[in-house]
Each structure stands twice: as C-alpha cells, then as structure tokens.
Structure 1
C-alpha cells in the first residue's frame, strides 16, 4: 500500500476494527494509520480519527497507565483517500498521571487536536448512576427482522442503517426512535464490535470503545425536532469527550443510553452513558455537533 494513498473501500462493511486501531510507527512520536472509514458526509468517520489518536497517544506511555479521559476537537473533514499522520506531544509524565496532546494531520494540515490523559488507577470512593431498565439484546429483534415486520414504516432509511452498520452490531431498544420524532431527546441502543474479541489487550478494547462512542450519538440532539434522514440534514461533529470509568470488553453488548440536554445556535449537545450487561457504568460521552438542513431540502 502506498504511503500516500489508502484504497477507497466501502464506507463500513470492509472495515476491520482491529486493523483500524493498528498504527504504523514512523518515529518515536509519529504514527500513520492503515485503514480509513468514510462517513455519510463523505469524509473520515470521527470515531475512527479519535480512536486512532488515542492509540497513538497510548503507544507513548507505559503499560501500567490506562486512558481515563480524552477531549478532541474536529477541525476539518478528513480525506478518505489519504492516510492520517498522528503527531504526539509528551505534555507531562508524573508519578501516576501522564498527559499527551495528539494532532492528526493530512497534507501537513491538522484535522483533529486531542488531549488524552492516562492514570495508573488507585483505591477510592465508588458510586455510579443506575442503568435504565431495558430489554436485554437477545430479547430484541435485529434490524432485518424489524424491516420484515414493518416493511412500510421501516423502509429505505432502516435498510441503509442495517447495511452500513459494518463492524458494529446494534439493536434498538425502541425501533420507533429511528423513524419517528422523539417525545423527549432520549435514545437507547445496544451495540458491540464482535471483531474486538480478537484482542485481549485492554487498551485496544478502550480504543474500540472510543470508536463505538461516536455511533449514532449526535442524532439524538435533533430527533425531537425531525427524523434525521440522510440527505435532508447535515450533521457534523465539532468535538468529542470521553471518560473511562471501568474496564469493558468492546466485543460484548453495551447499552448506549443517550440524551440531548440542549440544542441552540445551530448546534446540538448530546450525552451518552455506556453500561455493560450487568449495569456497570463503563464510560460517559459528550459531543457537540453542527446541525443544518441540507441545501435544497424541504
């Protein structure tokens, strides 16, 4: 594969999540990705870029350190046909914390800035929010089963979502949240990345969890106003923040409980809580997105 060009693959279905978070080390603090993933806007999927930036940062700290938080700003849409260079700055190395700044570059121009903090972990107080009571994933139909049961109401958009889920398995807690306006800005889905089972490295599972955290998050900020049909609305992530509370395996089902506290000035704020099957809160996510009606849309 040329260092200057990545092959144009299917936006979702040709993606291997383990390859996606595997980077080529060019120098001590310089890395290059091997896999690109296109989003519905035709630019790099944000979950890819932040997961790869996290992988680059993690490659520069000791194995005893685990990422506990990251904060990224999307500066430009990434070119799907070119590799991304990840430049890491060693901001600080302390006794129990290390901080890294990562700049994602294409053609010498930054497309993402991210701060990433790592911690050894220690004993302390414990509490968490209670997970919502929802059906388990085995008790929910697949998207294809839903389409067969509701072919008229779950039409082209549902088929699109089903076909483009790629490495992500997901099940809607309430399928109406996909095709109807929400009564309140809340949406819940179960999701996992089965291919993550190919790694037993907790850092890799964290990185894939970061990748998953961008899936269907921003849409909850607008579905109280309208159904987010591709082609009618333009949604672009502006920033993404993630806090890791407890270990989790990305190949096992996780409940993504999302809500939108506010939307204003053309921007929508979304918040997500990721729980494992036993109800343990493993991560908290925040994202703000630009939301516009597409040109020519009615």
Structure 2
C-alpha cells in the first residue's frame, strides 16, 4: 500500500523508511523552497526574453524552443546558487547535512499537447530511477516552479512497488550512457532514438496516484517508485525542479527499497555531493555499487 502523507513530522530516518516502503511525502512551501523558485523563475524568464515561459510554445518553432532549453537547463544545473539552496531545503526538512548527499538539480519541462516530448523535454514513460543505476536508497525531491494541475504533473503506479516489470535495464550501463547518450538530448526532436530502460510488457497505468503540490511545495518519493509523465493537456508548459538525495549511512549499509526488477550496471553515486562542503561520495562506497544490480536484493 502507498500512503500520501502531508507535512509529516517524522525525523529523516523514519521518513526514509516510509519512502523505501513506497509512501509519498508532500510538504508545503518554505522560505528555502520559495528562494529556489524565485531564482529559477529569474533564469527561465531571462531565457525566454519577454515571452511567458508557460505559453511560449505557441509562439516558437519547436527547434528554437529545444535550442533555448539546451542552453537554459545546463546553466541552471551547474549554477553555484543551486548548490547553496538545496542544502538549505534539506536542512529545513530535518536532514543531517553531514550525512546527506545530493545530486545536481534538474530543471524539467513538460510541454502541452505533444509539442515537444523527446530529448531535452523528454516525456517519461513508466520507469524507476533504479533502472538508470540509481541506488535503492535514493529519494527523489520534486517541486513545481509555476502552478501545476493534475493534467501536467507525474503519476505514480504504486501497485508495482513490490511487483517487478520486465524491462530493458539489463542493457543500461551508467558510464556508457554518460559517454554516448546524455549530451545528445537536444538533438532528439520528434523521435528519441536513445536506448533507455522501458517496460517490455504491458504496464497497468490505473489505478494511479497524482499529487499536485503548491508552488514551492515539495513531493518526496523513492527512486524505486514506478512513475511516469502525465500526458500534458493543460495548455501550459510545466516547469519543475527535481533532485536526488541519499543518506551515507544507508549507502554504507546497502539499505533501501527492495530491488524487484532492476538489472542495470554501474552507479550514479559518484554524482552525489555532501551538503556541508560538496565533497564527493567516497569512492570506496561508490565502487561497491559498480556491478550489475541483482533482482531481489
């Protein structure tokens, strides 16, 4: 069973245990999340140069829109201000910053009515982050930049938290993806030709859970939760931020969700940085996750 818990008062260890078991947390806006929203809006609106970013898709050629995102998204991802704001958000949520590591935040876009659903604005099929070499202890933190509706958020498929789906993760190697596919996203317009882990059997999309946070509100869930992009029919491009978090004690103890179907190789753990000083994940811990994942562990 998946429970959606609003503003729970758990400490971080209890929260992680709930997340590993499939629960979803929803938190209201805070000073730190609103600071990140404001910073992000400034970058986005500067890039769109007077156009309303939420409806600019109706004024721009799709290739021009994709090119704009190809410049905007890396600037956001690697901006030093993000590395200041993310630890502040995690501190507000009770994380021990000495033990908590985060990956760079991603700026996501979901355009309306199939305008651009590939490459730089990829519309995600049902997937788990753990198919993409994420550790089983990864938690995902997601927040909208502008108001969202049930027609342009994401969907969870909680019946699969404990049931495997035949999928293509056995062909996915994290290092190989970084070498050959990650940086070609902006060229994937109309059809995305990159081999990504997808279900290889029918997935029952209903019942599903959709959560609609307020601007600056935060949704937190396990990286092992099966989720997908809701087909955007809202008439507005959705802008959202997500980032990934691990607790080093759980990394060291190999604690997390149970692996029911992931068979990928490699690990994303080397991308994570400690909140206090941006030190990388210790190599001796990351190396423990380099082999092929084993289902059922």
Q: More helix by proportion, 1 or 2?
A: 2
Q: More strand by proportion, 1 or 2?
A: 1
Structure-2-length-normalised TM-score:
0.26
Structure possessing the higher relative contact order (Cα contacts under 8 Å, 6 or more residues apart): 2
Structure-1-length-normalised TM-score:
0.26
